[in-house]
């Protein structure tokens, strides 16, 4: 990846073959020769975060490894970053589309598909922080997934609105959240759009090679009548 130092890791996810993932070596990298960051409103500090493996993403991937594959089900991961959960679903034969607003996410996805000898996977640019008509992601999905998406205040409900536009009737939404403070407001925004919620704790104590994790899986289901 020009302008970046990367590394490759073997990531074990129970229920699927080990995945080889190329990620950024660290989060102190910023290369934006064409001004893409400025046009998208992404700061130099936030720019490299898409290219790192995060604990919440690993929890989402583990959950995807357990979900039965349904031939008629369409799945999209929003804010996918390195798309570990999408890669798990794709390897298992699910119809998955990865989506992110970062202009390098697709290139990293293609490389990680190549490293794992996987067939091409659908990818769409998606940005919930912009006007609906300027987004590229299209269609409705039966399952919408994402991890650590509630990292900033979203008073206008951009994320909830984006999800509502892309959720099919009766759709389910999975958000893995490491107990962010913006969760209550997001829950209210989802409820206002006709989504019912339940939660599952995902807390894990520290172990050899892994830090402790505190968070939850937020599960929303859209009413068939919404």
Cα→Cα distances 134→68, 129, 137, 184, 199, Å: 34, 10, 9, 28, 32
Q: Is the pTM higher than 0.95?
A: no
Instruction: Return the SS3 of 193.
Output: coil
Task: Residue 84: name the closest of 66, 101, 108 by CA.
Answer: 108
Domain 6-222 architecture: 3-Layer(aba) Sandwich (3.40)
Per-residue confidence in pLDDT tens, the chain, 226 aa = 567 899 999 999 999 999 999 999 988 888 877 877 777 778 888 888 899 999 999 999 999 999 999 989 999 999 999 999 999 999 999 999 999 989 899 999 999 999 999 999 999 987 776 555 444 556 899 999 999 999 888 988 999 999 999 999 999 999 999 999 999 999 999 999 999 999 999 999 998 878 899 999 999 998 765 5
The residues spanned by each domain of the chain are: 6-222
């Amino acid at each position: 990846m020009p302008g970046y130092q990367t590394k490759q890791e073997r990531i074990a996810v129970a229920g699927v073959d080990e995945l080889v993932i190329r990620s950024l070596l660290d989060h102190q990298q910023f290369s934006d020769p064409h001004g893409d960051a400025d046009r998208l409103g992404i700061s130099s500090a936030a720019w490299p975060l898409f290219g790192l493996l995060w604990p919440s993403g690993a929890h989402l991937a583990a959950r995807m490894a357990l979900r039965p594959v349904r031939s008629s089900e369409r799945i999209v991961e929003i804010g996918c970053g390195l798309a570990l959960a999408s890669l798990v679903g794709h390897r298992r034969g699910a119809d998955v589309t990865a989506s992110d607003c970062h202009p390098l996410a697709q290139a990293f996805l293609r490389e990680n598909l190549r490293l794992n000898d996987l067939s091409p996977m659908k990818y769409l640019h998606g940005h919930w922080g912009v006007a609906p008509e300027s987004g590229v992601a299209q269609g409705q999905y039966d399952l919408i997934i994402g991890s650590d998406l509630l990292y900033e205040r979203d008073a206008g409900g951009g994320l909830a609105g984006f999800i509502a536009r892309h959720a099919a009737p009766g759709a389910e939404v999975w958000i893995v959240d490491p107990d962010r403070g913006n969760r209550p407001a997001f829950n209210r925004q989802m409820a206002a759009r006709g989504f019912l919620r339940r939660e599952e704790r995902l807390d894990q104590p520290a172990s050899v090679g892994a830090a402790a994790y505190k968070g939850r899986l937020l599960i929303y289901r859209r009413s068939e009548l919404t």
